[in-house]
C-alpha cells in the first residue's frame, strides 16, 4: 500500500487548469523527484497535498485514509511536512526558536519535548552552531537549512521539498544533497520538486515530469531525463 496517493487530482483557477487528472503514488522510505518547466503545476500539486488548495476533483490518500477536508495544520500533525521555495522564517526570533515553533505546534508536543526535538533537528541540519542567531540575518544556505529544519521538527512521515536547492552554489548544493541523503537513509519518504536536476538524480528513486499540469512521464531518473519528450518540453532541446 502506498503511503501517499493522489487519485485523479485536478485543480483549476478560473479558466486556467493548473493540474489535470494527476495520479501519483509514494511508498514508505521512497524518494520521488518532480521536474517541469515554470508554470507546469508543480507547486499547485504540493498545495493540494498539504491542504493549502482544494482540488476540483480527485482525492489525496495518506496512510490509507482520505484526507480531503482536513486543513493544513491537521495534515501536518498527521505527518505531512513541507518547505517553501522562498524561506520566510520568523526573522526576529532565533534559529532555535523558529525550529521550536515547528516542534511544539506542528506535532502538538509539550515545550520540553519540543526543545529536545528542536536541538536534534538543528544538529541534523548543520545549524546547531547558529541556534542563538537571529533568523533574519542568516545567509541563503542557512535560511534554506532552517526551512528544512522547521519542516523536520514537525515529525513528518512524508517531507515535501519545494526547490530547496534553488539559488545555492554548487558547493552548497552538495552540502544539501548530503543532508537529504541522510534523511532518506533514516527512512523518511520524500517528494522533491527541483530545477537543479543533478541534485535530484543523486537522491531520488523515481522521477516524475509534469508539463502543462499533466503527468508527462515517470520512471528511473536517468531514463526520464534521457527521454526525447522530456528534453523537448523541459530543456527545450529537440531530439532526433
Rounded Cα distance, 32 and 201, in Å: 10
CA distance 33 to 148: 16
User: Which pLDDT score, from 0 to 100, does residue 232 have?
Assistant: 87
Question: What pTM does this model have?
Answer: 0.94
pLDDT along the chain (240 residues), means of 10: 95 96 97 95 97 97 96 95 94 97 85 94 96 97 96 96 95 95 95 96 96 95 93 68
Residue 19's pLDDT is 97
User: What pLDDT score was predicted for residue 240?
Assistant: 46
Check if the beta carbon of residue 8 is closer than 8 Å to that of residue 23. Answer: yes
Tell me, what's the pLDDT at 224? 95
CA dist 3 → 43, 178, 228 (Å): 20, 24, 31
Domain-wise residue ranges, the chain: 1-76+157-169+188-240, 80-155
Query: pLDDT at position 233, please?
Result: 84
Provide CATH code, domain 1-76+157-169+188-240. 3.40.50.300
Amino acid at each position: 500500500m502506498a503511503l501517499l496517493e493522489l487519485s485523479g487530482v485536478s485543480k483549476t483557477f478560473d479558466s486556467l487548469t493548473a493540474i489535470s487528472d494527476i495520479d501519483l503514488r509514494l511508498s514508505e522510505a521512497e524518494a520521488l523527484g518532480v521536474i517541469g518547466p515554470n508554470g507546469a503545476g508543480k507547486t499547485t500539486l504540493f498545495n493540494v497535498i498539504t491542504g493549502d488548495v482544494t482540488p476540483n476533483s480527485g482525492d489525496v490518500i495518506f496512510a490509507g485514509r482520505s484526507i480531503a477536508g482536513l486543513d493544513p495544520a491537521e495534515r501536518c500533525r498527521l505527518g505531512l511536512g513541507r518547505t517553501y521555495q522562498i524561506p520566510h522564517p520568523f526573522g526576529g526570533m532565533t534559529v532555535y526558536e523558529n525550529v521550536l515553533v515547528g516542534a511544539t505546534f506542528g506535532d502538538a508536543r509539550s515545550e520540553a519535548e519540543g526543545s529536545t526535538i528542536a536541538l536534534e533537528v538543528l544538529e541534523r541540519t548543520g545549524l546547531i552552531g547558529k541556534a542563538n542567531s537571529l533568523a533574519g540575518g542568516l545567509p541563503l544556505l542557512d535560511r534554506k537549512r532552517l526551512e528544512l529544519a522547521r519542516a523536520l521538527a514537525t515529525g513528518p512521515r512524508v517531507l515535501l521539498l519545494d526547490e530547496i536547492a534553488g539559488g545555492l552554489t554548487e558547493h552548497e548544493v552538495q552540502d544539501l544533497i548530503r543532508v537529504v541523503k541522510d534523511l532518506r537513509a533514516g527512512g523518511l519518504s520524500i517528494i522533491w520538486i527541483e530545477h537543479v536536476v543533478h541534485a535530484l538524480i543523486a537522491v531520488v528513486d523515481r522521477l516524475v515530469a509534469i508539463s502543462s499540469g499533466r503527468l508527462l512521464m515517470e520512471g528511473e531518473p536517468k531514463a526520464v531525463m534521457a527521454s526525447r519528450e522530456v528534453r523537448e518540453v523541459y530543456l527545450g532541446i529537440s531530439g532526433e
